[in-house]
Structure 1
Amino acid sequence: MSLNGKVAIVTGSGQGLGLAYARELARQGAAVVINDVNQETAAAAVAQIEADGGRATAVVVPVGSTDAAKALVAGAVDTFGRLDILVTNAGILRDKSLLKMTDEDFDLVINVHLKGTFTCVRESFAYFKENNIAGRIITIGSPTGQRGNFGQTNYAAAKAGIVGMVRTWALEMKRAGVTVNSVIPVAATAMTKTVPYFQKAVEADERGEAMPSFFRHDLGFGTADDVAGLIAFLASDEAAGITGQAIGAGGDRLQVWTHPEAASTEYREGGWSYEALRENAGTLFGKENLQGYGEEFLPLPEELQPEPAKAEAR
Protein backbone atom coordinates (compact mmCIF):
# COMPACT_ATOMS: atom_id res chain seq x y z
CA MET A 1 0.00 0.00 0.00
CA SER A 2 1.78 3.09 -1.27
CA LEU A 3 0.13 5.53 1.13
CA ASN A 4 1.12 3.81 4.37
CA GLY A 5 1.86 6.39 7.06
CA LYS A 6 0.13 9.19 5.13
CA VAL A 7 -2.82 11.21 6.43
CA ALA A 8 -5.49 12.66 4.15
CA ILE A 9 -8.38 15.09 4.45
CA VAL A 10 -11.26 14.60 1.99
CA THR A 11 -13.86 17.35 2.20
CA GLY A 12 -17.47 16.42 1.43
CA SER A 13 -16.69 12.74 1.91
CA GLY A 14 -19.68 11.46 3.85
CA GLN A 15 -21.14 9.88 0.72
CA GLY A 16 -20.98 9.82 -3.07
CA LEU A 17 -17.78 10.63 -4.90
CA GLY A 18 -16.05 11.96 -1.80
CA LEU A 19 -16.62 8.73 0.11
CA ALA A 20 -15.27 6.71 -2.83
CA TYR A 21 -12.12 8.84 -2.79
CA ALA A 22 -11.73 8.45 0.97
CA ARG A 23 -12.20 4.67 0.84
CA GLU A 24 -9.59 4.29 -1.89
CA LEU A 25 -7.08 6.45 -0.01
CA ALA A 26 -7.68 4.31 3.06
CA ARG A 27 -7.37 1.11 1.01
CA GLN A 28 -3.96 2.33 -0.11
CA GLY A 29 -2.92 2.79 3.53
CA ALA A 30 -3.73 6.42 4.37
CA ALA A 31 -5.56 7.47 7.53
CA VAL A 32 -8.49 9.64 6.43
CA VAL A 33 -10.37 12.62 7.86
CA ILE A 34 -13.98 12.37 6.72
CA ASN A 35 -15.85 15.66 6.39
CA ASP A 36 -19.59 16.23 6.12
CA VAL A 37 -22.21 18.62 7.49
CA ASN A 38 -24.26 15.73 8.92
CA GLN A 39 -22.95 13.90 12.00
CA GLU A 40 -24.73 10.62 11.23
CA THR A 41 -23.55 10.58 7.61
CA ALA A 42 -19.96 11.27 8.66
CA ALA A 43 -20.08 8.59 11.38
CA ALA A 44 -21.43 6.02 8.91
CA ALA A 45 -18.59 6.82 6.48
CA VAL A 46 -15.99 6.39 9.24
CA ALA A 47 -17.56 3.09 10.25
CA GLN A 48 -17.47 1.88 6.64
CA ILE A 49 -13.77 2.66 6.27
CA GLU A 50 -12.99 1.01 9.59
CA ALA A 51 -15.00 -2.06 8.55
CA ASP A 52 -12.80 -2.19 5.43
CA GLY A 53 -9.76 -2.30 7.73
CA GLY A 54 -8.80 1.37 7.37
CA ARG A 55 -8.40 4.26 9.82
CA ALA A 56 -10.66 7.30 9.82
CA THR A 57 -12.05 10.09 11.91
CA ALA A 58 -14.74 12.69 11.23
CA VAL A 59 -14.79 16.49 11.34
CA VAL A 60 -18.35 17.74 10.99
CA VAL A 61 -18.19 21.27 9.64
CA PRO A 62 -19.53 23.17 6.59
CA VAL A 63 -16.60 23.92 4.28
CA GLY A 64 -16.05 27.52 3.24
CA SER A 65 -14.72 29.54 6.14
CA THR A 66 -11.16 29.78 7.43
CA ASP A 67 -12.34 28.40 10.77
CA ALA A 68 -13.64 25.28 9.01
CA ALA A 69 -10.31 24.82 7.22
CA LYS A 70 -8.41 25.18 10.51
CA ALA A 71 -10.71 22.61 12.14
CA LEU A 72 -10.03 20.10 9.37
CA VAL A 73 -6.25 20.44 9.57
CA ALA A 74 -6.38 20.30 13.37
CA GLY A 75 -8.54 17.18 13.15
CA ALA A 76 -5.91 15.43 11.05
CA VAL A 77 -2.94 16.50 13.17
CA ASP A 78 -4.61 15.95 16.56
CA THR A 79 -5.92 12.49 15.64
CA PHE A 80 -3.22 11.07 13.40
CA GLY A 81 -0.20 13.28 14.12
CA ARG A 82 0.31 14.84 10.68
CA LEU A 83 -1.21 15.81 7.32
CA ASP A 84 0.06 14.81 3.87
CA ILE A 85 -2.88 14.91 1.47
CA LEU A 86 -5.82 17.24 0.87
CA VAL A 87 -8.73 16.47 -1.47
CA THR A 88 -11.19 19.35 -1.81
CA ASN A 89 -14.38 17.62 -2.91
CA ALA A 90 -17.09 19.46 -0.91
CA GLY A 91 -19.75 21.15 -2.99
CA ILE A 92 -23.41 21.99 -3.42
CA LEU A 93 -25.64 22.77 -6.39
CA ARG A 94 -28.16 25.56 -6.90
CA ASP A 95 -28.90 25.17 -10.61
CA LYS A 96 -31.00 27.88 -12.26
CA SER A 97 -30.80 29.82 -15.49
CA LEU A 98 -29.25 33.28 -15.22
CA LEU A 99 -32.41 35.37 -14.82
CA LYS A 100 -33.77 33.00 -12.16
CA MET A 101 -30.54 32.70 -10.17
CA THR A 102 -30.58 34.73 -6.95
CA ASP A 103 -27.65 36.30 -5.14
CA GLU A 104 -28.01 33.59 -2.50
CA ASP A 105 -27.91 30.81 -5.12
CA PHE A 106 -24.69 32.26 -6.50
CA ASP A 107 -23.01 33.03 -3.18
CA LEU A 108 -23.73 29.63 -1.60
CA VAL A 109 -22.14 27.69 -4.44
CA ILE A 110 -19.15 30.00 -4.72
CA ASN A 111 -18.60 29.87 -0.95
CA VAL A 112 -18.47 26.08 -0.72
CA HIS A 113 -16.73 25.19 -3.98
CA LEU A 114 -14.42 28.13 -4.66
CA LYS A 115 -13.82 29.76 -1.29
CA GLY A 116 -13.86 26.38 0.45
CA THR A 117 -11.13 25.14 -1.87
CA PHE A 118 -9.14 28.35 -1.28
CA THR A 119 -9.35 28.26 2.53
CA CYS A 120 -8.62 24.53 2.84
CA VAL A 121 -5.67 24.69 0.43
CA ARG A 122 -4.23 27.77 2.14
CA GLU A 123 -4.41 26.15 5.58
CA SER A 124 -2.99 22.84 4.37
CA PHE A 125 -0.16 24.44 2.42
CA ALA A 126 0.79 26.50 5.47
CA TYR A 127 1.05 23.26 7.47
CA PHE A 128 3.09 21.58 4.71
CA LYS A 129 5.58 24.46 4.54
CA GLU A 130 5.94 24.78 8.30
CA ASN A 131 6.64 21.07 8.65
CA ASN A 132 8.69 20.58 5.48
CA ILE A 133 6.19 18.11 4.01
CA ALA A 134 6.03 17.53 0.25
CA GLY A 135 2.25 17.38 0.39
CA ARG A 136 -0.30 16.46 -2.25
CA ILE A 137 -3.28 18.71 -3.00
CA ILE A 138 -6.05 17.42 -5.28
CA THR A 139 -8.91 19.75 -6.11
CA ILE A 140 -12.08 18.69 -7.89
CA GLY A 141 -13.12 20.42 -11.09
CA SER A 142 -15.91 19.60 -13.55
CA PRO A 143 -16.57 19.43 -17.29
CA THR A 144 -18.93 22.35 -16.63
CA GLY A 145 -15.98 24.47 -15.52
CA GLN A 146 -14.08 23.50 -18.65
CA ARG A 147 -16.88 23.89 -21.20
CA GLY A 148 -19.89 25.55 -19.54
CA ASN A 149 -23.39 24.13 -19.03
CA PHE A 150 -26.88 25.58 -19.22
CA GLY A 151 -28.29 26.60 -15.83
CA GLN A 152 -24.99 26.44 -13.97
CA THR A 153 -23.56 29.98 -13.92
CA ASN A 154 -22.50 29.65 -10.28
CA TYR A 155 -21.09 26.13 -10.58
CA ALA A 156 -19.24 26.87 -13.83
CA ALA A 157 -17.66 29.98 -12.30
CA ALA A 158 -16.54 28.04 -9.22
CA LYS A 159 -15.11 25.07 -11.11
CA ALA A 160 -13.32 27.22 -13.69
CA GLY A 161 -11.94 29.31 -10.84
CA ILE A 162 -10.60 26.23 -9.09
CA VAL A 163 -8.59 25.20 -12.15
CA GLY A 164 -7.29 28.76 -12.46
CA MET A 165 -6.14 28.69 -8.84
CA VAL A 166 -4.44 25.32 -9.39
CA ARG A 167 -2.27 26.76 -12.16
CA THR A 168 -1.26 29.64 -9.89
CA TRP A 169 -0.64 27.42 -6.88
CA ALA A 170 1.53 25.05 -8.90
CA LEU A 171 3.91 28.00 -9.41
CA GLU A 172 3.78 29.09 -5.78
CA MET A 173 4.17 25.60 -4.29
CA LYS A 174 6.87 24.22 -6.57
CA ARG A 175 9.82 25.23 -4.40
CA ALA A 176 8.21 23.53 -1.37
CA GLY A 177 7.83 20.27 -3.31
CA VAL A 178 4.04 20.34 -2.94
CA THR A 179 1.98 19.25 -5.95
CA VAL A 180 -1.49 20.54 -6.77
CA ASN A 181 -3.78 19.23 -9.49
CA SER A 182 -7.44 19.27 -10.44
CA VAL A 183 -9.39 16.12 -11.23
CA ILE A 184 -12.35 16.40 -13.61
CA PRO A 185 -14.67 13.48 -12.73
CA VAL A 186 -17.36 12.16 -15.06
CA ALA A 187 -19.33 9.71 -12.94
CA ALA A 188 -22.75 8.68 -11.75
CA THR A 189 -23.88 10.95 -8.93
CA ALA A 190 -27.14 12.05 -7.33
CA MET A 191 -27.30 14.76 -10.01
CA THR A 192 -26.87 12.44 -13.01
CA LYS A 193 -29.59 10.16 -11.68
CA THR A 194 -32.10 12.84 -12.66
CA VAL A 195 -30.81 13.20 -16.25
CA PRO A 196 -32.73 10.92 -18.68
CA TYR A 197 -29.71 10.66 -20.99
CA PHE A 198 -27.83 8.65 -18.34
CA GLN A 199 -30.82 6.52 -17.23
CA LYS A 200 -29.58 3.18 -18.58
CA ALA A 201 -26.08 3.71 -17.16
CA VAL A 202 -27.33 4.65 -13.71
CA GLU A 203 -29.84 1.78 -13.64
CA ALA A 204 -27.10 -0.73 -14.52
CA ASP A 205 -24.86 0.68 -11.79
CA GLU A 206 -27.63 0.47 -9.20
CA ARG A 207 -28.18 -3.19 -10.12
CA GLY A 208 -24.48 -3.83 -9.58
CA GLU A 209 -23.91 -4.46 -13.28
CA ALA A 210 -21.30 -2.96 -15.58
CA MET A 211 -22.49 0.10 -17.47
CA PRO A 212 -22.95 -0.36 -21.24
CA SER A 213 -19.75 0.20 -23.24
CA PHE A 214 -21.26 3.26 -24.95
CA PHE A 215 -21.24 5.11 -21.64
CA ARG A 216 -17.94 3.79 -20.29
CA HIS A 217 -15.89 4.02 -23.49
CA ASP A 218 -17.56 6.45 -25.90
CA LEU A 219 -18.64 9.00 -23.26
CA GLY A 220 -16.05 8.30 -20.58
CA PHE A 221 -18.86 8.05 -18.01
CA GLY A 222 -18.58 5.59 -15.15
CA THR A 223 -18.74 5.08 -11.41
CA ALA A 224 -17.16 6.91 -8.50
CA ASP A 225 -14.66 4.07 -8.16
CA ASP A 226 -13.42 4.78 -11.70
CA VAL A 227 -12.24 8.20 -10.48
CA ALA A 228 -10.93 7.11 -7.07
CA GLY A 229 -7.83 5.40 -8.47
CA LEU A 230 -6.62 8.67 -10.02
CA ILE A 231 -7.15 10.48 -6.70
CA ALA A 232 -5.00 7.92 -4.86
CA PHE A 233 -2.32 7.95 -7.56
CA LEU A 234 -1.99 11.75 -7.50
CA ALA A 235 -1.69 11.51 -3.70
CA SER A 236 1.25 9.11 -3.95
CA ASP A 237 5.01 9.62 -4.15
CA GLU A 238 4.90 8.27 -7.72
CA ALA A 239 3.07 11.46 -8.79
CA ALA A 240 5.76 13.83 -7.46
CA GLY A 241 6.42 15.21 -10.96
CA ILE A 242 2.79 15.94 -11.82
CA THR A 243 1.50 19.38 -10.86
CA GLY A 244 -0.61 22.21 -12.27
CA GLN A 245 -2.72 19.80 -14.33
CA ALA A 246 -6.42 19.28 -15.01
CA ILE A 247 -6.98 15.55 -15.49
CA GLY A 248 -10.29 14.00 -16.47
CA ALA A 249 -11.38 10.53 -15.36
CA GLY A 250 -14.54 8.60 -16.11
CA GLY A 251 -15.43 5.06 -17.14
CA ASP A 252 -12.63 3.65 -19.30
CA ARG A 253 -11.25 7.08 -20.23
CA LEU A 254 -8.47 9.27 -18.84
CA GLN A 255 -7.85 12.77 -20.26
CA VAL A 256 -5.23 15.43 -19.66
CA TRP A 257 -6.99 18.72 -20.45
CA THR A 258 -5.13 21.40 -22.34
CA HIS A 259 -4.61 24.77 -20.73
CA PRO A 260 -6.07 27.72 -22.69
CA GLU A 261 -3.90 28.71 -25.62
CA ALA A 262 -4.48 31.21 -28.43
CA ALA A 263 -6.41 29.54 -31.28
CA SER A 264 -5.24 32.16 -33.78
CA THR A 265 -2.87 35.13 -33.79
CA GLU A 266 -2.85 38.07 -36.20
CA TYR A 267 -0.74 41.25 -36.17
CA ARG A 268 -1.42 44.68 -37.65
CA GLU A 269 0.99 47.55 -37.44
CA GLY A 270 -0.59 50.36 -35.41
CA GLY A 271 -3.05 48.00 -33.71
CA TRP A 272 -6.60 46.92 -34.40
CA SER A 273 -9.00 49.83 -34.80
CA TYR A 274 -12.75 49.39 -35.12
CA GLU A 275 -12.51 49.95 -38.87
CA ALA A 276 -9.68 47.43 -39.25
CA LEU A 277 -11.64 44.85 -37.30
CA ARG A 278 -14.69 45.34 -39.52
CA GLU A 279 -12.58 45.02 -42.65
CA ASN A 280 -10.88 41.81 -41.51
CA ALA A 281 -13.68 40.23 -39.47
CA GLY A 282 -14.17 37.32 -41.85
CA THR A 283 -10.56 36.26 -41.48
CA LEU A 284 -10.14 37.05 -37.80
CA PHE A 285 -13.41 35.53 -36.58
CA GLY A 286 -14.14 32.83 -39.13
CA LYS A 287 -15.62 29.50 -38.07
CA GLU A 288 -12.17 27.93 -38.06
CA ASN A 289 -11.09 30.31 -35.28
CA LEU A 290 -14.20 30.59 -33.10
CA GLN A 291 -14.24 28.13 -30.20
CA GLY A 292 -17.01 25.82 -29.07
CA TYR A 293 -18.86 26.06 -25.76
CA GLY A 294 -21.05 23.78 -23.71
CA GLU A 295 -20.87 20.00 -23.41
CA GLU A 296 -21.89 18.04 -26.49
CA PHE A 297 -23.12 14.46 -26.01
CA LEU A 298 -23.13 11.77 -28.67
CA PRO A 299 -26.59 10.56 -29.83
CA LEU A 300 -27.81 7.68 -27.67
CA PRO A 301 -28.15 4.33 -29.44
CA GLU A 302 -31.81 3.30 -29.59
CA GLU A 303 -31.38 0.45 -27.11
CA LEU A 304 -29.97 2.88 -24.51
CA GLN A 305 -32.62 5.56 -24.83
CA PRO A 306 -34.70 6.23 -21.67
CA GLU A 307 -38.03 4.42 -21.55
CA PRO A 308 -40.29 7.51 -22.08
CA ALA A 309 -38.27 8.43 -25.20
CA LYS A 310 -38.71 4.89 -26.58
CA ALA A 311 -42.44 5.03 -25.97
CA GLU A 312 -42.76 8.37 -27.77
CA ALA A 313 -40.77 7.04 -30.72
CA ARG A 314 -43.19 4.12 -31.06
Structure 2
Amino acid sequence: MSYDDGHGYGSREPGGRPDDAYSTLGGTRQTRTRLPDSEPGPPYGRRPVRGTRSLVTVVGVVVLLIGAIAFANRGSGDGAADKATGGSGTKSDSAASAPTAPTGTDPVTGKTGTIASGFAHDAQGAQSAAANYTVALGSDQMFDAKGRREITRAVYVPAVAAARLTDLDKVYTGEGFLASIGLKPDGTAPEGLTFISRSNPVGSKVEGYSGAEATVSVWYSALFGLAGEGSKNPVAEGWYTTTYTLSWSGGDWKVQDFTQKDGPTPVGRDQSASTAQEMADAVETFGGFTYAR
Protein backbone atom coordinates (compact mmCIF):
# COMPACT_ATOMS: atom_id res chain seq x y z
CA MET A 1 0.00 0.00 0.00
CA SER A 2 1.40 3.43 -0.97
CA TYR A 3 0.87 6.55 1.02
CA ASP A 4 -1.70 7.75 -1.57
CA ASP A 5 -3.90 4.66 -1.58
CA GLY A 6 -6.00 5.17 1.51
CA HIS A 7 -7.84 7.71 3.54
CA GLY A 8 -5.55 10.15 5.27
CA TYR A 9 -2.90 10.12 2.54
CA GLY A 10 -4.74 12.22 -0.08
CA SER A 11 -7.47 11.47 -2.61
CA ARG A 12 -6.54 11.16 -6.27
CA GLU A 13 -10.05 11.34 -7.75
CA PRO A 14 -10.34 13.84 -10.66
CA GLY A 15 -11.51 17.22 -9.44
CA GLY A 16 -11.36 16.16 -5.83
CA ARG A 17 -9.36 17.80 -3.06
CA PRO A 18 -6.97 15.78 -0.98
CA ASP A 19 -8.16 15.29 2.56
CA ASP A 20 -4.63 14.82 3.94
CA ALA A 21 -3.51 17.56 6.29
CA TYR A 22 -0.13 17.43 4.54
CA SER A 23 -1.45 17.54 0.97
CA THR A 24 0.54 19.11 -1.87
CA LEU A 25 0.23 22.25 -3.97
CA GLY A 26 0.66 22.09 -7.72
CA GLY A 27 2.57 18.83 -7.57
CA THR A 28 5.47 20.41 -5.73
CA ARG A 29 4.99 18.19 -2.63
CA GLN A 30 5.15 21.28 -0.41
CA THR A 31 3.29 21.28 2.88
CA ARG A 32 -0.18 22.80 2.59
CA THR A 33 -1.05 23.09 6.28
CA ARG A 34 1.23 23.04 9.29
CA LEU A 35 -0.39 21.45 12.31
CA PRO A 36 0.60 22.44 15.85
CA ASP A 37 3.53 20.40 17.17
CA SER A 38 1.31 18.96 19.87
CA GLU A 39 -0.91 17.22 17.32
CA PRO A 40 0.36 13.83 16.13
CA GLY A 41 0.86 13.39 12.41
CA PRO A 42 -0.18 10.36 10.36
CA PRO A 43 1.76 7.19 11.23
CA TYR A 44 3.69 7.09 7.97
CA GLY A 45 2.76 10.52 6.58
CA ARG A 46 4.76 13.67 6.08
CA ARG A 47 5.68 15.52 9.25
CA PRO A 48 5.32 19.31 9.53
CA VAL A 49 8.49 21.24 8.81
CA ARG A 50 10.11 22.22 12.10
CA GLY A 51 12.15 25.33 12.74
CA THR A 52 15.88 25.48 13.39
CA ARG A 53 15.31 25.84 17.13
CA SER A 54 13.39 22.52 17.22
CA LEU A 55 16.15 20.82 15.26
CA VAL A 56 18.82 22.08 17.65
CA THR A 57 16.74 20.86 20.59
CA VAL A 58 16.36 17.38 19.07
CA VAL A 59 20.08 17.14 18.32
CA GLY A 60 20.88 18.26 21.87
CA VAL A 61 18.65 15.58 23.36
CA VAL A 62 20.27 12.88 21.18
CA VAL A 63 23.77 13.98 22.22
CA LEU A 64 22.80 13.91 25.89
CA LEU A 65 21.26 10.46 25.47
CA ILE A 66 24.39 9.07 23.82
CA GLY A 67 26.51 10.58 26.59
CA ALA A 68 24.30 9.04 29.27
CA ILE A 69 24.54 5.60 27.66
CA ALA A 70 28.34 5.86 27.38
CA PHE A 71 28.60 6.93 31.02
CA ALA A 72 26.37 4.06 32.17
CA ASN A 73 28.53 1.53 30.31
CA ARG A 74 31.81 2.73 31.82
CA GLY A 75 33.56 0.68 34.44
CA SER A 76 33.04 1.61 38.07
CA GLY A 77 36.72 2.46 38.48
CA ASP A 78 37.12 0.54 41.74
CA GLY A 79 36.19 -2.80 40.17
CA ALA A 80 33.22 -3.29 42.47
CA ALA A 81 30.82 -4.02 39.64
CA ASP A 82 33.21 -6.47 38.03
CA LYS A 83 33.76 -8.33 41.28
CA ALA A 84 30.02 -8.63 41.81
CA THR A 85 29.57 -10.19 38.37
CA GLY A 86 32.66 -12.38 38.28
CA GLY A 87 34.33 -10.03 35.80
CA SER A 88 31.80 -10.79 33.07
CA GLY A 89 30.26 -7.33 33.08
CA THR A 90 26.81 -8.75 33.75
CA LYS A 91 25.12 -10.75 36.46
CA SER A 92 25.11 -14.48 35.87
CA ASP A 93 21.30 -14.62 35.96
CA SER A 94 20.87 -11.77 33.48
CA ALA A 95 20.27 -12.26 29.78
CA ALA A 96 21.55 -8.77 28.93
CA SER A 97 24.68 -8.52 26.82
CA ALA A 98 27.92 -7.40 28.44
CA PRO A 99 29.77 -4.59 26.66
CA THR A 100 33.23 -5.49 25.41
CA ALA A 101 34.82 -2.63 27.32
CA PRO A 102 38.03 -2.64 29.38
CA THR A 103 37.45 -3.97 32.88
CA GLY A 104 40.84 -3.20 34.35
CA THR A 105 41.99 -6.82 34.27
CA ASP A 106 44.33 -8.13 31.58
CA PRO A 107 43.44 -11.82 31.25
CA VAL A 108 46.14 -12.69 28.71
CA THR A 109 49.72 -12.86 29.94
CA GLY A 110 51.29 -15.35 27.57
CA LYS A 111 50.80 -17.55 24.56
CA THR A 112 51.15 -21.12 23.42
CA GLY A 113 52.53 -20.97 19.91
CA THR A 114 50.33 -18.36 18.24
CA ILE A 115 47.41 -18.85 20.65
CA ALA A 116 46.86 -16.63 23.67
CA SER A 117 47.11 -18.34 27.06
CA GLY A 118 47.20 -17.46 30.74
CA PHE A 119 43.57 -16.38 30.95
CA ALA A 120 42.16 -14.93 34.15
CA HIS A 121 40.49 -17.42 36.50
CA ASP A 122 37.06 -15.78 36.32
CA ALA A 123 34.12 -15.43 33.94
CA GLN A 124 35.91 -12.70 32.01
CA GLY A 125 38.89 -14.96 31.40
CA ALA A 126 36.61 -17.81 30.29
CA GLN A 127 34.99 -15.55 27.69
CA SER A 128 38.39 -14.42 26.41
CA ALA A 129 39.57 -18.02 26.17
CA ALA A 130 36.46 -19.08 24.26
CA ALA A 131 36.79 -16.19 21.80
CA ASN A 132 40.48 -16.89 21.16
CA TYR A 133 39.89 -20.62 20.79
CA THR A 134 37.15 -19.89 18.25
CA VAL A 135 39.72 -18.03 16.16
CA ALA A 136 42.28 -20.84 16.43
CA LEU A 137 39.87 -23.70 15.73
CA GLY A 138 38.47 -21.88 12.70
CA SER A 139 41.82 -20.94 11.16
CA ASP A 140 43.44 -22.34 8.04
CA GLN A 141 46.07 -23.97 10.27
CA MET A 142 43.52 -26.64 11.15
CA PHE A 143 43.86 -27.95 7.59
CA ASP A 144 47.58 -28.56 8.07
CA ALA A 145 48.56 -31.67 10.03
CA LYS A 146 51.23 -29.93 12.12
CA GLY A 147 49.11 -26.86 12.78
CA ARG A 148 46.12 -29.00 13.74
CA ARG A 149 48.18 -30.94 16.27
CA GLU A 150 49.56 -27.77 17.88
CA ILE A 151 46.15 -26.10 18.12
CA THR A 152 44.45 -29.18 19.53
CA ARG A 153 47.06 -29.63 22.25
CA ALA A 154 46.89 -25.94 23.12
CA VAL A 155 43.12 -25.54 23.49
CA TYR A 156 41.83 -28.89 24.80
CA VAL A 157 42.26 -30.32 28.28
CA PRO A 158 45.02 -32.98 28.22
CA ALA A 159 42.60 -35.78 29.07
CA VAL A 160 40.66 -35.35 25.83
CA ALA A 161 43.26 -33.77 23.52
CA ALA A 162 44.59 -37.06 22.09
CA ALA A 163 41.16 -38.47 21.37
CA ARG A 164 40.00 -35.18 19.85
CA LEU A 165 43.08 -35.01 17.61
CA THR A 166 42.35 -38.52 16.31
CA ASP A 167 38.78 -37.49 15.47
CA LEU A 168 39.92 -34.31 13.78
CA ASP A 169 42.55 -36.13 11.72
CA LYS A 170 39.85 -38.47 10.43
CA VAL A 171 37.70 -35.53 9.39
CA TYR A 172 40.40 -33.44 7.74
CA THR A 173 42.11 -36.33 5.98
CA GLY A 174 38.94 -38.17 5.07
CA GLU A 175 38.63 -39.40 1.52
CA GLY A 176 37.53 -36.59 -0.77
CA PHE A 177 37.10 -33.96 1.97
CA LEU A 178 40.00 -31.68 1.03
CA ALA A 179 39.32 -32.14 -2.67
CA SER A 180 35.68 -31.18 -2.14
CA ILE A 181 36.71 -27.74 -0.89
CA GLY A 182 39.36 -27.30 -3.56
CA LEU A 183 42.51 -28.06 -1.54
CA LYS A 184 45.39 -30.39 -2.33
CA PRO A 185 45.87 -33.59 -0.27
CA ASP A 186 48.32 -31.79 2.07
CA GLY A 187 45.74 -29.10 2.87
CA THR A 188 47.32 -26.34 0.78
CA ALA A 189 45.71 -24.29 -1.96
CA PRO A 190 46.36 -24.95 -5.66
CA GLU A 191 48.80 -22.70 -7.49
CA GLY A 192 47.47 -19.19 -7.99
CA LEU A 193 44.78 -19.47 -5.28
CA THR A 194 44.70 -18.34 -1.65
CA PHE A 195 42.87 -20.44 0.92
CA ILE A 196 40.92 -18.38 3.46
CA SER A 197 39.45 -19.73 6.70
CA ARG A 198 39.00 -17.11 9.40
CA SER A 199 36.58 -16.80 12.33
CA ASN A 200 35.65 -13.35 13.61
CA PRO A 201 33.95 -13.31 17.04
CA VAL A 202 31.17 -10.77 17.40
CA GLY A 203 30.32 -11.40 21.05
CA SER A 204 30.37 -13.91 23.88
CA LYS A 205 27.98 -14.89 26.64
CA VAL A 206 28.47 -16.81 29.88
CA GLU A 207 25.86 -19.55 30.09
CA GLY A 208 27.13 -20.91 33.40
CA TYR A 209 30.13 -20.47 35.66
CA SER A 210 31.88 -22.01 38.62
CA GLY A 211 35.49 -21.90 39.68
CA ALA A 212 36.22 -25.23 38.00
CA GLU A 213 34.03 -25.03 34.90
CA ALA A 214 32.45 -22.46 32.61
CA THR A 215 29.98 -22.67 29.74
CA VAL A 216 30.48 -19.89 27.20
CA SER A 217 28.76 -19.22 23.88
CA VAL A 218 30.58 -17.31 21.14
CA TRP A 219 28.72 -15.76 18.21
CA TYR A 220 30.92 -15.22 15.18
CA SER A 221 31.13 -14.83 11.43
CA ALA A 222 33.38 -17.02 9.34
CA LEU A 223 35.07 -16.42 6.00
CA PHE A 224 35.80 -19.57 4.03
CA GLY A 225 36.84 -20.40 0.50
CA LEU A 226 39.50 -20.00 -2.17
CA ALA A 227 40.37 -16.55 -3.49
CA GLY A 228 41.84 -16.28 -6.96
CA GLU A 229 40.97 -16.34 -10.62
CA GLY A 230 39.09 -19.47 -11.62
CA SER A 231 38.19 -20.51 -8.06
CA LYS A 232 35.27 -22.91 -7.93
CA ASN A 233 34.84 -22.24 -4.20
CA PRO A 234 34.88 -18.43 -3.82
CA VAL A 235 35.18 -16.93 -0.35
CA ALA A 236 31.77 -16.78 1.34
CA GLU A 237 30.55 -15.67 4.76
CA GLY A 238 28.71 -17.79 7.31
CA TRP A 239 27.38 -17.10 10.83
CA TYR A 240 27.55 -19.54 13.75
CA THR A 241 27.31 -19.87 17.51
CA THR A 242 29.62 -22.28 19.31
CA THR A 243 29.01 -23.16 22.94
CA TYR A 244 32.08 -24.36 24.84
CA THR A 245 32.37 -26.32 28.05
CA LEU A 246 35.62 -25.04 29.54
CA SER A 247 37.52 -26.57 32.46
CA TRP A 248 40.14 -24.89 34.64
CA SER A 249 43.16 -27.13 33.97
CA GLY A 250 46.85 -26.55 34.59
CA GLY A 251 46.30 -22.90 35.51
CA ASP A 252 44.30 -22.03 32.39
CA TRP A 253 40.92 -22.45 30.71
CA LYS A 254 40.80 -25.40 28.32
CA VAL A 255 38.08 -26.86 26.10
CA GLN A 256 36.36 -29.96 27.42
CA ASP A 257 33.70 -30.14 24.72
CA PHE A 258 31.63 -27.91 22.44
CA THR A 259 28.50 -27.77 20.30
CA GLN A 260 27.82 -25.61 17.27
CA LYS A 261 24.75 -24.26 15.50
CA ASP A 262 24.04 -21.93 12.59
CA GLY A 263 23.25 -18.24 13.13
CA PRO A 264 21.98 -15.84 14.19
CA THR A 265 22.47 -14.64 10.62
CA PRO A 266 21.91 -11.01 9.59
CA VAL A 267 20.41 -9.92 6.29
CA GLY A 268 23.14 -9.22 3.76
CA ARG A 269 23.52 -5.62 2.56
CA ASP A 270 23.41 -4.61 -1.06
CA GLN A 271 27.17 -4.35 -1.51
CA SER A 272 29.24 -5.37 -4.48
CA ALA A 273 31.49 -8.36 -3.84
CA SER A 274 35.21 -7.64 -3.96
CA THR A 275 37.37 -9.19 -6.63
CA ALA A 276 39.23 -12.39 -5.89
CA GLN A 277 42.54 -10.50 -5.78
CA GLU A 278 41.18 -7.88 -3.36
CA MET A 279 39.98 -10.63 -1.03
CA ALA A 280 43.31 -12.46 -1.19
CA ASP A 281 45.23 -9.24 -0.52
CA ALA A 282 42.98 -8.38 2.43
CA VAL A 283 43.45 -11.66 4.26
CA GLU A 284 47.21 -11.52 3.72
CA THR A 285 47.64 -7.93 4.90
CA PHE A 286 45.08 -7.69 7.72
CA GLY A 287 46.16 -9.70 10.74
CA GLY A 288 43.74 -11.30 13.20
CA PHE A 289 43.02 -10.15 16.74
CA THR A 290 43.80 -11.50 20.18
CA TYR A 291 40.51 -11.19 22.02
CA ALA A 292 40.65 -10.00 25.62
CA ARG A 293 38.48 -7.90 27.90
Same fold (TM over 0.5): no
Greater strand proportion: 2
TM-score by length of 1: 0.26
Greater helix proportion: 1
Structure with greater contact order relative to length (CA < 8 Å, sep ≥ 6): 1
